[in-house]
Amino acid sequence: MPKELSDILLTIRLMESGDRYDARPNRGGASGAYQYIDSTWANYGGYPSAYLAPPWVQDERAASHVTAILERYNGDVSMVPVIWYYPRAAGNPELMDQVPKPHLGNKLTVREYQMRWLDMLEYVIGSPLGFRAALLPPDLQFLSGLPPEFALAADAEPQIAFPVLGTSMLAAPPVCPDDTCEPGTSAVVYGQKLQPILAATDGVVTAVQPGNLVSGAITLTLTDMIGRTYVYAGFNDDTPGTQDGAADPSLRFTSLAVVGTPVRAGQILGFMGDTDPMPSGGAGISDEVWPHLRLTIYDADGTRLDTDLLVSRAQRRQACHVGLGPWSVPVSGLLARAARSSDDDVVVSAGDDGGWTIHTSGSVTAYGKSALIVAPEDCEWAPEDPFGPGARGNQPPDGWDVPFDIPAKAWVAGSQAADPAQPVLTVRR
């Protein structure tokens, strides 16, 4: 079949089933690689359910379906995910921002699914989709270096900041074919080595894991003032341009990654690497471990939240905003802990998207799209001047730098959320 059609089919399979042709019926009765319900499958090829059909039959049915959608909508590929997820929304725009049939396990609105699907298509084909910006809500603004601020509420769904600075891709959520899966999800954000990783909330660093003896993962746990814990995995451990696992400490974490340190949402905790194992079904294309961050958020009672959904909403809310300023890494005596023995700054290129510089002082500046919170092609605008300490960017609001602490029970939650496979190698205050 034509490569364009093949790419679309692969995108559907990755989004719907993790590319599993044998996926058995879920709560809604959908099965197979393309997650057809029996009534839509309509005994195709003589098979009563999609998962019972061989892969080539499932591909044939899906190819025919996709071709019909493209013909009906004049080749508009952005309509494929809408029809696949909830066809009624194609004729009723008000349904685009609703979660269809949540009792069947759906968690994304139609628009969120559409945007995630297009991200995955861009990932598969390896090139940007130029029409993406037109699909975004019209209220996005180009803000210049304002730190995010979110109110904490124990009885409400948390609102978080996007945890990666610069061009990145949020992976598709893992597929759960039945009711036996663990509640909640993690969020996996792909980027490049040494890409800044940001605090998703105001909180205190309660654990730092310099390297798991089994998986090699480098992790950090942030705990907010109501006891939610944010476990980050996948920090860098390589010297630039190598796979030596011997990176200078300042190229793993910033000076904020010290147990007991209070941080604010949007501040830089460290730098992305490939120390977290590749997500099963998250990519499905290569055995290589691509640089990525895995973020998992737990409620105060230990329940894993839908981190994937929270991160997706944060990305849409902050897209095109400059996410860097003088406040990103504090200028204090702590910087001495992050300073490198080398006298050279580390300059990381992001190609046409800009780049960032990790200074010997421990601070970070960036320019172009690398200074923005941005999905792959959601912004046409990008700043030409660098942002960050010693460069452009707004000062934080009054009181933003006032120290704070978290309750003792929150410290306990942060400790319990740390990787149980290896003791934490830092001292709590």
Instruction: Kindly list the domain boundaries of the chain, sorted by start residue.
Output: 3-135, 166-417
Backbone angles phi, psi at 9, to 5 degrees: -65, -40
What percent of the chain has a predicted confidence (pLDDT) above 70? 81
Whether 138 has a pLDDT exceeding 80, the answer reads: no
Q: How confident is the model at residue 283 (pLDDT cuts 50, 70, 90)?
A: very low
Q: Which of 77-81, 129-133, 136-140, 208-212 has the highest mean pLDDT?
A: 77-81
Residues 35-59: tens digit of each pLDDT: 999 999 999 999 999 999 999 999 9
Whether 130 has a pLDDT exceeding 60, the answer reads: no
- Give the global pTM: 0.69
> Which residue would you say has higher pLDDT here, 423 or 286?
286
Whether 429 has a pLDDT exceeding 50, the answer reads: no
Instruction: Report the alpha-carbon distance of residue 403 to residue 14 in Å, rounded.
Output: 44
- Which of these ranges, 181-190, 308-317, 332-341, 393-402, has the smallest mean pLDDT? 332-341
- Which of these ranges, 207-216, 239-248, 263-272, 318-327, has the smallest mean pLDDT? 207-216
What's the mean per-residue pLDDT of the chain? 82
Predicted confidence at residue 232, as pLDDT, reads 96
Length of the chain: 429
Predicted confidence at residue 177, as pLDDT, reads 59
Predicted confidence at residue 223, as pLDDT, reads 93
Predicted confidence at residue 360, as pLDDT, reads 83
Sheet-wide strand order for 229-233: 169-170, 187-190, 292-298, 229-233, 219-223, 203-209, 262-263
CATH homologous superfamily of 166-417:
Glucose Permease (Domain IIA) (2.70.70.10)
Residues 290-327: tens digit of each pLDDT: 899 999 999 888 889 999 989 988 888 888 888 998 88
Fold of the domain built from segment(s) 3-135: Lysozyme (1.10.530)
Whether 207 has a pLDDT exceeding 80, the answer reads: yes
Report the Cα 354 to chain-centroid distance in Å: 20
Average pLDDT over residues 150-171: 83
Q: Is 113 exposed, middle or buried (0-12, 13-18, 19+ CB in 10 A)?
A: buried
At what angle are helices 110-125 and 3-16 packed, to 10 degrees?
130
